[in-house]
């Protein structure tokens, strides 16, 4: 999960709190959704597994990053995390009890192939076989991501990971092991999580592993080149994805009957004003954020706005590569959390050594929505709907899985996580509208199943449906209100009509919110 850095620095709104008891009735039920529409929840390997040094696992760039004290403003690392490595059986029981159709998780490349290439670690293989078997025995579909930002450190050390074209071969070999060993039971493969977020954050801004950048005022990266490397990294992600996808289609797909896709972080983008400059700038931002990947994946080339503004720093696909990349997704995974206002900023194109943002030639301001509090993510299902309609217009009608969507709260705040309940209620209700309006959405995964180790938030703030008692050596899991709500929804049980909600006293914002509509 990526929270753009401006969210990481938002402060809690201090306000008087009053407790009110309100009715909360769903206008929809699980049965209103098509029977094959999937509801799930997700995690990723480094954030949930723990056992970082056990059974032959070697470090990833995320271990290195977290151990250097880079997990946001806070301490923490994934050495133990939720210890799902040892507790997967109990966790799968909780998932089954909750009624999840599917669990989205990622494979730790350096657990399966500790040095990134070469021999497979039998203990790693066994772990993922156990987890997958446990899931399928409970009727829960495994949806597997191959790369969730945790590149084996060995490959970073050897050739600078995604910056080098050499990654394509090693990633394909890793994917081959996964398809071969797990593909009889895994029918949904995502090659790269938030490919766009990883390329920007890891190689442009430097706030994600491997923390390469040349923007000294922000993260003081020791290596990198923000003018070029985000584009190289993205290019190699596309080639690696396409190579793995071709392999899957040639060697496995007919027999295993699965699908392969890629995942992008989709932001809501709203022109700051209705001037044509800002409207065009917003489209250009969409080209840089989404078209960067989807144009090659659908049309075999980068958007012309990128070719124009990035110029010779934008890598070029040979015609063979272009044909390889084009058409290489069966579905798109979408992670959606936040939205931005976009203002045209042509002046940035005059800069020397431009980075990604300067190339985009826009100013970006966080959008806080019209019915939310400052410390939480805005609840804007209509923005997601608008973005998905624009993707459909621009790129065609391929299947979409909402891979991540969820609400951030203080990790140790109350178990009565009503902001998360509200958020899920609104977005799941929104899904229903989106399907009715003809969007080809096939599933929705809450981020996250548990309070995992969060990038940029460490263990301080979290998205989990389940609270984890980190102070307790057993790392006991406890359902939050949102877990109960989701479970009731999934099991088509009536959702509690009385929910105690904390509302901010006298918030003028609140008076306009849907919360009040459903509350009365």
Footprint of ligand NAG (CB under 6 A): 16, 214, 219-220, 225, 227-228, 273-274, 353, 370-371, 382, 412, 506, 512-514
> Does residue 194 carry a catalytic annotation?
yes
Shortest reach from residue 277's CB to ligand NAG, in Å: 13
Shortest reach from residue 512's CB to ligand NAG, in Å: 5
Question: What are the angstrom distances between the C-alpha of 415 and each of 22, 151, 462, 482?
Answer: 18, 34, 12, 9
Shortest reach from residue 435's CB to ligand NAG, in Å: 18
Please pick, among 49, 160, 376, 404, the residue that the annotation labels catalytic: 404
Contact (CB, 8 A) for 381 and 427: yes
Nearer of residues 216 and 473 to ligand NAG, judged by Cβ: 216
Shortest reach from residue 312's CB to ligand NAG, in Å: 9
Instruction: Give the separation between CA 199 and CA 115, rounded to whole angstroms.
Output: 22
Please pick, among 194, 229, 376, 426, the residue that the annotation labels catalytic: 194
Torsion angle, CA of 148/149/155/161, rounded to 10 degrees? 120
Q: Report phi then psi at 342, rounded to 5.
A: -120, 130
Nearer of residues 16 and 254 to ligand NAG, judged by Cβ: 16
Shortest reach from residue 367's CB to ligand NAG, in Å: 11
Helix (H, G, I), strand (E, B) or coil at 251: helix
Instruction: Give the separation between CA 215 and CA 154, rounded to whole angstroms.
Output: 25
Residue 265's DSSP bridge partners are 335
Nearer of residues 204 and 371 to ligand NAG, judged by Cβ: 371
The DSSP element (H or E) to which 141 belongs, if any, is strand 141-147
Instruction: Give the separation between CA 355 and CA 217, rounded to whole angstroms.
Output: 13
Close Cβ partners of 214 (under 8 Å, ≥ 6 residues apart): 221, 224, 225, 226, 227, 353, 355
> Does residue 54 carry a catalytic annotation?
no
Contact (CB, 8 A) for 100 and 39: yes
Burial class (CB in 10 A: 0-12, 13-18, 19+), 333: buried
Shortest reach from residue 513's CB to ligand NAG, in Å: 5
Question: What are the angstrom distances between the C-alpha of 308 and each of 64, 175, 351?
Answer: 36, 34, 15
**Which residues does the annotation mark as catalytic?**
194, 404
């Amino acid at each position: 999960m990526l929270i753009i850095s401006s969210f990481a620095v938002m402060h809690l709104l201090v306000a008087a709190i009053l407790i009110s008891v309100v009715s909360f009735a769903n206008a929809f039920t699980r049965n209103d959704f098509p029977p094959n529409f999937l509801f799930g929840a997700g995690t990723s390997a480094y954030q949930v597994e723990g056992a970082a040094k056990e059974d032959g696992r070697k470090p990833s760039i995320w271990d290195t990053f977290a151990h250097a004290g880079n997990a946001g403003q806070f301490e923490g690392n994934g050495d133990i995390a939720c210890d799902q490595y040892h507790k997967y059986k109990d966790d799968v029981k909780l998932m089954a009890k909750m009624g999840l159709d599917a669990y989205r998780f990622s494979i730790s490349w350096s657990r399966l192939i500790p040095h990134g290439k070469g021999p497979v670690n039998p203990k790693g293989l066994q772990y993922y076989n156990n987890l997958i078997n446990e899931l399928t025995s409970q009727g829960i579909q495994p949806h597997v991501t191959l790369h969730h930002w945790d590149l084996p450190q060995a490959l970073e050390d050897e050739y600078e990971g995604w910056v080098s074209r050499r990654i394509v071969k090693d990633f394909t070999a890793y994917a081959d092991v996964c398809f071969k060993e797990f593909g009889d039971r895994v029918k949904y493969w995502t090659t790269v999580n938030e490919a766009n977020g990883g390329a920007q954050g890891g190689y442009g801004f430097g706030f994600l592993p491997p923390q390469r950048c040349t923007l000294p005022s922000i993260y003081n990266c020791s290596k990198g080149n923000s003018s070029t490397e985000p584009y190289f990294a993205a290019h190699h992600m596309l080639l690696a994805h396409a190579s793995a996808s071709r392999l899957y289609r040639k060697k496995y797909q007919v027999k295993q009957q699965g699908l392969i896709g890629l995942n992008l972080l989709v932001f809501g983008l709203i022109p700051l004003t209705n001037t044509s400059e800002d409207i065009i700038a917003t489209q250009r931002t969409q080209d840089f954020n989404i078209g960067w990947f989807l144009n090659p994946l659908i049309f075999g080339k980068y958007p012309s706005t990128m070719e124009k503004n990035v110029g010779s720093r934008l890598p070029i696909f040979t015609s063979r590569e272009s044909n390889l990349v084009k058409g290489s997704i069966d579905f798109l995974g979408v992670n959606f959390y936040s939205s931005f206002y976009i203002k045209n900023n042509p002046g940035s194109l005059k800069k020397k050594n431009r980075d990604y943002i300067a190339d985009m030639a826009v100013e970006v301001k966080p959008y806080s929505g019209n019915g939310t509090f400052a410390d939480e993510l805005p609840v804007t299902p209509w923005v997601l709907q608008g973005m998905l309609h624009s993707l459909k217009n621009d790129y065609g009608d391929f299947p979409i899985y909402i891979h991540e969507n969820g609400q951030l709260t203080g990790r140790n705040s109350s178990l009565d996580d009503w902001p998360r309940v509200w958020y899920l209620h609104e977005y799941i209700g929104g899904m229903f509208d989106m399907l009715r309006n003809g969007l080809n959405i096939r599933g929705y995964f809450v981020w996250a199943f548990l309070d995992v180790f969060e990038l940029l938030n460490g263990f301080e703030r979290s998205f989990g449906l389940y609270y984890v008692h980190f102070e307790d050596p057993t790392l006991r899991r406890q359902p939050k209100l949102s877990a109960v709500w989701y479970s009731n929804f999934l099991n088509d049980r009536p959702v509690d009509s009385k929910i105690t909600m904390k509302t901010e006293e006298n918030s003028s914002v609140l008076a306009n919110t849907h919360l009040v509509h459903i509350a009365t």
